[in-house]
Amino acid sequence: MARRIRRRGGRKKAGVFTLMLLILMAAGVWWTLQKLPNSSYTEPDWRGLKQPILVQGELTGYSASGQGSSLMLPLALVQEYVDPYIYEDEGSETVVFTTASEVLSLSAGTLKGTRNGKEASFEQTVERVDGKLYVPAKLLKELYYTAYYEHSGTGAVLLSRAGDHLELGEAVPAGKQSFAALRQSPSIKSPILQDMPPGERLRIWGEEEQGWLKVQTDQGYTGYVPSDQVKPKGNKIYPQRIHEPSRADLEWRDRSVNLTWEAVYSRNPDPDKLGQLPGVNVVSPTWFEITSEAGDVTSKVSPDYVTWAHKLDKEVWGVLTNSFNPDITTAVLSTYDTRAALITEVIRLSRAHGLDGINIDFENVYTKDKQNLIAFMRELYPRAKELGLIVSIDVTPKSSSEMWSVFLDRRELAHAVDYMMVMSYDEHWAASPEAGSVSSLPWAERTVRRILEEDEVPASKLVLGIPLYTRIWTEEGVEGGGKVTSKAVGMEAVQSLLKEKALTPVYDELTGQNYVQYQEEQSLNKIWIEDEISLKARVELAHQYDLGGIASWSRMLGSSEAWEVLKSIHK
């Protein structure tokens, strides 16, 4: 009986031992699976593609064409990664390139094109491959300082752009290992993309997880490697192209613009009656007007006026308007050829009459023409800059008005001008439903701040528009409140009215201006006055924000007192 009991106890101990052995074996298998690195291999998704293009370690979804000096890159890729304003002219096989110094046009099928408005020959041209336009990589390198590396084995094209910051390194296998494993994800359990021998050149794209670096090999493979298996080899910054400075950079950045517009309607003013205009260093006459959808330009240039201005050491920046006609504007801006012809004509007129700059004043424009206006300015700027002409554009305060504000991309336009004049007036306009200031000081300041802060236009380029006029508002009813009408008058006319009616203005804190009201028959008249007080405040506003200067509308509406106040912009 006792022996049988001992036998059963022995079997029980054997079972426990077997169970423990199985547990230990399972633990060993688990440890092996958890700790041993994955030794399987995989390939990147793009491996079957022909000449895939990668930027900063990432696949772009585009492929190159050609090789070496004949390498071509898709236009769509270039627009997305290099410059969105390299574009195909609508309805043609022409591609237009614009930089701060050059505007080029190339057409498929010919090595002839244009450079800054002149005929030019090129080593390569644009091509259409499988229905898509491609541009020469060599030309992009010349214009935009792009760089590219081609790997003959994988076909990968690694594209770098001007200003790209590249951290370099080389592979250092761990211990006695012959290779460092480039893995698909930051884990030793991830499959291997590539075995990297000692010294394998790497581009380091950052630390993805603690202890792992995201790197890329010359083959184009992007993956992960432990940071202790990468030896840093310094940094490389691809240089930006340095363009020749414009005349504005050389002659105007250390002084303020004090411009006054000369409103020329049917005829020019008599220079002998204009006086000295102390402090004014630029006059801007409204001489050029686009009058047809073909881009015809009428000119009212007065040689005597130019001579008068230059004798007084004032520059002349001729104004080009779009006749405030949206349909003419659409037609003229719609193609590269019409834009180029317009630019050629305006530059010809400016040079023929010895002008110093061009001021663009396009208003009442369809929102759909926003991009074409940017293209026009980008094409105008390098051609004008080459000849020493200052380029400026007039913009309205930001608002929701489709035809008067929304069409203006102030951020992008700032890249294609020397100066941007913000027309900080007509807060209350001729047909305004209520009486009010033409430009209250708080409102004028907001217009400046919005453009500086929201559009990041450099303060040195922004010029504050100043009204030299006011409006006499008439509200029907002895106490006002009825139908509102107005008429614009200059500074001298207001002072004459105050004297004639023996009126004494009071300072209005809300607008920062002197204000007066008076009854006339069965109506109430109101005037927010432009005078030395308001003009001084506007100059101080320009100083406060370190603006590029001031621009007043218009010379004929000003007074001798106005010029004395405005010249303080130079202090």
Q: Looking at 110, 142, 160, which one is the last position of a domain?
A: 160
Domain presence at residue 478: no
Domain presence at residue 507: no
Residues 308 and 420 in one domain: yes
| CATH code of residue 220 | 2.30.30.40
* pLDDT tier, 5 (very low <50, low <70, confident <90, very high otherwise): very low
Collect all residues with Cβ–Cβ distance below 8 Å to 461 and sequence separation of at least 6: 414, 417, 418, 419, 420, 548
What average pLDDT does the segment 439-449 reach?
98
Domain presence at residue 487: no
| CATH code of residue 452 | 3.20.20.80
Domain presence at residue 52: yes
Per-residue DSSP letters for 455-475?
S---TTTEEEEEESEEEEEEE
Domain presence at residue 298: yes
Tokens 């006054």 correspond to 260
Q: pTM for the complete prediction? A: 0.91
Q: Give the span between the Cα atoms of 185 and 182, in whole angstroms.
A: 9
Q: What would the pLDDT profile of 376-410 be if each residue is shown by its tens digit?
A: 999 999 999 999 999 999 999 999 999 999 999 99
Residues 145 and 223 in one domain: no
Residues 370 and 255 in one domain: yes
Domain presence at residue 382: yes
Q: What is the pLDDT of residue 208?
A: 76
Residues 441 and 312 in one domain: yes
Question: Are 537 and 529 a contacting pair, CB within 8 Å?
Answer: no
Q: Looking at 214, 237, 260, which one is the last position of a domain?
A: 237
Q: Give the span between the Cα atoms of 27 and 21, in whole angstroms.
A: 10
| CATH code of residue 76 | 3.30.457.10
Mean pLDDT check: name the lowest of 6-10, 82-86, 457-461, 486-490. 6-10
Domain presence at residue 131: yes
What average pLDDT does the segment 531-543 reach?
98
Q: What would the pLDDT profile of 58-75 be if each residue is shown by its tens digit?
A: 999 999 999 999 999 999
Residues 384 and 425 in one domain: yes
Q: What would the pLDDT profile of 212-253 be if each residue is shown by its tens digit?
A: 999 999 999 999 999 999 999 999 999 999 999 999 999 999
Residues 256 and 226 in one domain: no
Is the bond preceding 554 in cis, omega lying within 30 degrees of 0?
yes
Q: What is the mean pLDDT of the chain?
A: 95
What average pLDDT does the segment 337-345 reach?
97
Residues 230 and 285 in one domain: no
Residues 225 and 267 in one domain: no
Residues 295 and 409 in one domain: yes
Q: What is the pLDDT of residue 194?
A: 97
Domain count for the chain: 3
Q: Is 318 exposed, middle or buried (0-12, 13-18, 19+ CB in 10 A)?
A: buried
Residues 311 and 450 in one domain: yes
Asked if pLDDT for residue 3 goes beyond 50, the answer is no
Q: Give the span between the Cα atoms of 498 and 493, in whole angstroms.
A: 9
The dihedral over CA atoms of 292, 295, 298, 302, expressed in degrees to the nearest 10, equals 160
Q: What is the DSSP letter of 403?
A: I
Domain presence at residue 398: yes
Range of the domain at 54: 45-160
Question: Are 327 and 277 a contacting pair, CB within 8 Å?
Answer: no
Q: What is the pLDDT of residue 288?
A: 98
**Ranges of H-type helices in 353-458:** 370-386, 410-413, 441-454
Residues 437 and 562 in one domain: yes
Provide, rounded to the nearest whole percent, the portion of the chain with pLDDT above 90: 91
Q: What is the pLDDT of residue 9?
A: 57
Q: Looking at 218, 237, 256, which one is the last position of a domain?
A: 237
Residues 151 and 279 in one domain: no
Measured from the Cβ of residue 14, the count of other Cβ atoms closer than 10 Å reads 10
Asked if pLDDT for residue 509 goes beyond 60, the answer is yes
